[in-house]
Structure 1
């Protein structure tokens, strides 16, 4: 049996229960006839740029499909469960405040028949640490990984780490002796119920079911296909023509079109997603907090969010969405262009300045819409901002290298806990946006180590206030997750953090 989860984690994970389950198909499911061809085709709003999840560990676009191929030690509970559940680890326990024991399932094996070992789990964690990507800061407190027993992984942490289980749910495990070979990631193997049949960059990812999968969950699908369609209009056209079964990330302006489609269901769920504009605080003039505050006061956030996204977004009240554990309710910056100009003058820029903003390209995307609205507002206070839309791969590289003046992008709190965002993006050591504050570091490190949930919440409130008051970025909106699917799809369960899995999906005859 699985050991009990520490009480401090229960409340955190309970927040994930806000996700709503959408079950597609007829309400009289017993009369539905399963299709002979159990192929499910997804046109996601973001297509994976690589299959190496460790190299882009925080990317939902990669994790979502790859979790069907590679499994983590533990998985987030379903929408009715308030705890993590067994993955490759059939049980775990907190031996003492800083030692965790994970017992790997004795039957767990990769698709080539080799057993999954503690060394494989340790190597996967280490690869994420070595890459230094989005998850690395959350794993850095791990000081020792003992793999002396092939089926037991002992993790020791520098301090108590109440968020470890949440974080490990995002670490996919691969074979230790193969993962450092670049060729491996062209067609990687894992321990999940699907295998990579084909991956063509910017085109298609095809997964086929593994008939010899060691797990006991019933998987109805024979094939799972992800298609790259950068333009939303193309994705929706493909859905209307039954060329794809699911389209994710539907924007507000397309809602009417989707709701009018025959044979298509449209759903929205509360989301762990939000949008943020970061200033590069290491680059002039954004080294001055008054310049950053001026840029925020110059933007009528409430009107822009309402006009562009309507009911599909909510004006942000914190640097993380309100659905996440640890989010306070703060007051959005007042729209005051005159005060913005005063702040610029005090900072030595009475005539404004010229800068740039980068975001992923694609007409009609939330980022391009927000960017254009912001650029127009900034022009009114004498700040000229050059738009830099970029292909996603280039954007991610420049973002990872902090090679930008301002960066606009969507993000999600994948674990539902503030630590996932605040504790991995805003520490000085993260070097993500040029901002460094030792007081903030102290609060975030205390929160990471604290096991008392109420204390952690208070610490995250204080940390959020600093990020907000210092205008590390502009935080305009919390998002909903909108998607549409063919009505012959059964048992579709979508994730509020956009890390969707399709293990329960089946296809009925049309």
Structure 2
């Protein structure tokens, strides 16, 4: 979740179809959907022979390490995308992220009132330790995900109970119709864990010694350096994964990633600076991938700390930052100015004006604020990120024009994440992305005070917004639901708990012998589909 050339908005009709499928009013049985066509430029395929080859280890550079393999704990993107390659869920996102398809569940039916979902399970799924995956494991895992030990309990409010109703069947009963249910069940937090292992070993042990049923399993973990996964020989998708293993290598420095790619010490690197893409694209052994991504870059403002509890100051900073200048100078044009707390998912409000660059308006708001003569401020950024560093320098100059003297504090990514989640900061550079196409997840995660993160760790509190966000979860009328999300975005924008920056794509560089690597619009990837050709 947390941590896009321009971000391509998913077809409204595709998204509406997905949500309609999530709460069909008739007793419908889900069918295995056709595989959607991949987004142009979002998949690397073999130029000659498309027959997958088996074997090899994929070395994959990422910015930082994860903190836990327990699906109900982490909320960072790297952890989520790791979990999705190690565990199964009842249903899962389609490869490009725009639909839902069967996972451990082969099919499901939805009652006429939209409050009962019956899932029929595969009978050939085994955990990494050889134990069969059972309906009891499904019930246990989902009850655990919505329980008190979970960091994701806020996303399951509509579930009343989960029952084992057959040898290979589970039934989910809802308090009220809940349109995002199928999307929610595709989240990493909905991953299925072995009840016996967790109960016998405990959650602390499990966080470091995970047992899933997905295509890859943990072989070793050198904290702060490398995660080594090996293939699951008993994976239920016969013939997959093609790779023998995956190494997630922690490489926070942008220059180091580029060097390692050119030296063929990596097969894939994520988060490659846009300023380097043209240079790398000229290398005949490399492939550059710029993939659409439902992501929002922003600067959360800690509104519990003075003077950031002053609305006029938050609004003034928004008007004073020239986002387009940053996009052009730092992202090389690969971005779009943001106006909403939502990434470009279902019901994204494209009518919001947001905060276009307006220095005079910013100065006027500062003059009317509690600090008309300005003040000193601290912006915390990730060290090693060229994008963050360049952006901070531009912002420092722009905020100076309204009397704000900005100090730039550069720290390791893990330290920055901890400061953010513990609200020990003033302003901080970060982003989040949606794991599903429905707006409910990001609304509860990033905007609603009663969600799981205290409005993305800003301390923002608007009771009217919170109440509407909860009502929108249950609204059955599509037009009314859209209107509610449009209004939620308007309220949040006006209250300005963030400096809204931009929507950016995902940037990856791979070796030319990497095939089948596709990044969904939600940023996730299925590494069981990836294979390496001989060089």
TM-score under structure 2 length normalisation: 0.86
User: Are the aligned partners of 2:59 and 2:248 in contact in 1 as well (CA < 8 Å)?
Assistant: yes
Tell me: CA distance 1:358–1:147, structure 2 relative to 1, closer, same or farther (3 Å).
farther
Conservation of the 8 A alpha-carbon contact between 1:273 and 1:413: yes
Q: Which moved more, 1:17-26 or 1:240-249?
A: 17-26
Match for residue 435 of structure 1? 460
- In structure 1, the residue matched to 2:203 is 181
CA distance, structure 1, for counterparts of residue 366 and residue 119 of structure 2:
54
Q: Residue 351 of structure 2: which of 329, 336, 346 is its match?
A: 329
Q: CA separation of 1:503/1:275 partners in 2, compared to 1, >3 Å: closer, same or farther?
A: same
Q: 1:374: Cα distance to partner?
A: 1.9
CA pair 217-315 structure 1, distance change in 2 beyond 3 A: farther
1:393-439 residue CA offsets vs partner (Å, 9 max, x unmatched): 33223322223222320211121222221133222213232112222
Does the CA contact (< 8 Å) of 2:345 and 2:439 recur in 1? no
Q: State the shift of 1:334 in Å.
A: 3.1
1:29 aligns with 2:49: yes
Cα distance change, pair 379–419 in 1 and its aligned pair in 2 (3 A): same
CA 1:497–1:17: 2 relative to 1, 3 Å: farther
Aligned equivalents of 1:33, 1:335: Cα separation in 2: 50
Paired residue secondary structure (1:310): coil
What is the aligned counterpart of 1:381 among 390, 393, 402?
402
- Give the drift of 1:132: 5.0
How many Å separate the matches in 2 of 1:338 and 1:131? 49
| Partners of 1:423 and 1:448 within 8 A in 2 | no
Quote the residue 1:92 is aligned against.
108
Deviations 1:329-374 (A, max 9, x none): 322413233432332232221111233233332240x333333322
Separation in 2, partners of 1:428, 1:108: 39
1:459 is paired with a residue whose SS is: helix
Distance 1:489 1:55 in 2: 31
1 CA distance for matches of 2:423 and 2:464? 22
Does structure 1 retain, via aligned residues, the 8 Å contact 2:310–2:370? Answer: no
Alignment partner, residue 391 of structure 1:
412
Tell me which residue corresponds to 2:390.
369
Instruction: Tell me, in whole angstroms, the C-alpha distance in 2 between the residues paired with 1:6 and 1:313.
Output: 27
Q: Displacement of 1:55 after TM fit?
A: 0.9
1:41 aligns with 2:59: yes
- 1:195 equivalent to 2:217? Answer yes
Unaligned runs of 5+ in 1: none
Task: Say if 2:72 is the partner of 1:51.
Answer: no
- Say yes or no: does 1:239 pair with 2:264: no
1:491 aligns with 2:516: yes
Q: Does 388-397 or 456-465 show the bigger shift? A: 388-397
Q: Deviations over 1:149-202 (max 9, x none)?
A: 564333333332111111111122211233333223323111112221111111
Shift, 1:73, TM fit: 1.4
Q: What SS does structure 1 have at the residue aligned with 2:529?
A: coil
1:403 to 424, 428, 442: 424
Partner of 2:9: none
Aligned pairs (5 A) from 1:213-232: 213-216=235-238, 218-232=240-254
Aligned partner of 2:134 among 113, 117, 123 = 117
Does the 8 Å contact 2:295/2:344 carry over to 1?
no
Answer whether contact 1:315 1:477 (CA < 8 A) is retained: yes
Q: CA deviation at 1:126?
A: 4.1
- The 5-angstrom pairing of residues 136-155 of structure 1 reads 136-147=153-164, 151-155=168-172
Displacement of 1:5: 7.2
Determine helix, strand or coil for the equivalent of 1:166: helix
Q: Matched residue of 1:302: which SS? A: helix
Report which stretch shifted further, 196-205 or 391-400. Answer: 391-400
Instruction: Give 1:379 shift.
Output: 2.3
Residue aligning to 2:498: 473
User: Cα–Cα, structure 1 residues 340 and 232, in superposed 2: closer, same or farther, change >3 Å?
Assistant: same
**SS at 1:398 equivalent:** helix
- Please say if residues 23 and 110 of structure 2, whose CA atoms lie closer than 8 Å, have aligned partners that are also in contact: no
Asked whether the 8 Å contact 1:50–1:201 carries over to 2, the reply is no
- CA RMSD, Structure 1 to Structure 2 (Å): 2.7
- Counterpart among 173, 195, 215 of residue 156 in structure 1: 173
Contact 2:61 2:248 in 1 (8 A): yes
Query: What's the CA shift string for 1:89-138, capped at 9, x where partnerless?
Result: 222222342232233322222121222233433433344443453x4322
Contact 1:248 1:484 in 2 (8 A): yes
Whole-angstrom distance in 2 between the partners of 1:33 and 1:116: 28
**Whole-Å separation in 2 of the counterparts to 1:186 and 1:235:** 27
What residue is the counterpart of 2:316 in the other structure? 294
The 2-side partners of 1:168 and 1:250 are apart by 31
Change in 2 beyond 3 A, CA 1:375/1:177 = farther
TM-score normalised over the length of structure 1: 0.90
1:231 is displaced (CA, Å) by 0.9
Residues 169 and 17 of structure 1, relative CA distance in 2, 3 Å threshold:
farther
Query: What SS is found at the alignment partner of 1:428?
Result: coil
Distance 2:412 2:136 in 1: 37
